[in-house]
Amino acid sequence: GQQVMQIPQYQHVQEGEDFTTYCNSSTTLSNIQWYKQRPGGHPVFLIQLVKSGEVKKQKRLTFQFGEAKKNSSLHITATQTTDVGTYFCAGREGTYKYIFGTGTRLKVLA
Amino acid sequence: ETGVTQTPRHLVMGMTNKKSLKCEQHLGHNAMYWYKQSAKKPLELMFVYNFKEQTENNSVPSRFSPECPNSSHLFLHLHTLQPEDSALYLCASSLTSGETQYFGPGTRLLVL
């Protein structure tokens, strides 16, 4: 079955530094979603990417979908303490479900 | 956010107990999901319901029994659980299956 891996598993950054998490799928994805889960919270939808090579921006967050639609990345510019949490990608498999990645836990040191 | 609610928020149960988790969504969605989130593991999809019909059972043990009486409510009935079933159980909903999912706050379950 489809597997979705994320690297790194953990990342500690100094506030103001940039951060990137990478998502890799064993199969081609029809689309990919990104979620953020704050400590003690639940996953919250951030964005969806559909097209090959697509790039979307949300303020300091930049999301990219690979040309082969098997990988994706999330880049945060100038991290802030509010960026703390675990970032998950989720690749769509078939009609009914998304396979979630292993997640990258981000800690931002003030 | 109160679009998807879950009760109880915390649950401690013995291995011989029977309990149920409840999920309710107020978003007018037609698809609902159960996920299990354990430490050091990715979110594991358990069940998917689309228009009240179960469309996915991700090889979940029979000690977990879902019920979807209508598009707004989803239950997870638990019986004779094992300690390794201790986890955060998350409910989610989407307009239809495969769309953006909105998660509830989860039920943190501890099986003793």
Tell me the per-residue pLDDT of A22-70, one tens digit each, with 9 for 90 and over: 999 988 998 999 999 999 999 999 999 999 999 999 999 999 999 999 9
CA distances for B102 relative to A35, A55, A94, A103, angstroms: 10, 23, 19, 18
Chain B: closest CA distance from residue A3 (Å): 11
Per-residue confidence at A1, pLDDT binned at 50, 70, 90?
A: low
Q: Does B3 contact chain A (CB < 8 Å)?
A: no
Task: Tell me the shortest Cα–Cα distance from B22 to chain A, in angstroms.
Answer: 16
Tens of each residue's pLDDT in chain B, 112 residues: 569 999 999 999 999 889 999 999 999 999 999 999 998 778 999 999 999 888 888 889 999 999 999 999 999 999 999 999 999 999 999 998 888 999 999 999 999 9
CB B94, CB B102: distance < 8 Å: yes
With beta carbons under 8 A apart, name residues in chain A contacting B50: 96
Determine the Cα–Cα distance for residues A99 and A22; give it in Å rounded to an integer. 15
Residues of chain B in contact with residue A95, where contact means CB-CB under 8 angstroms, are: 55, 97-98
> A97 and B56 in contact by Cβ < 8 A?
yes
Burial class (CB in 10 A: 0-12, 13-18, 19+), A44: middle
> How do residues A70-91 score in pLDDT, each as one tens digit?
999 999 999 999 999 999 999 9
* Cβ neighbour number for residue A33 with a 10 Å cutoff: 24
B88 beta partners: B37, B108
Asked if the peptide bond before residue B8 counts as cis, ω within 30 degrees of 0, the response is yes
A23 burial via Cβ count (<10 Å: 0-12, 13-18, 19+): buried
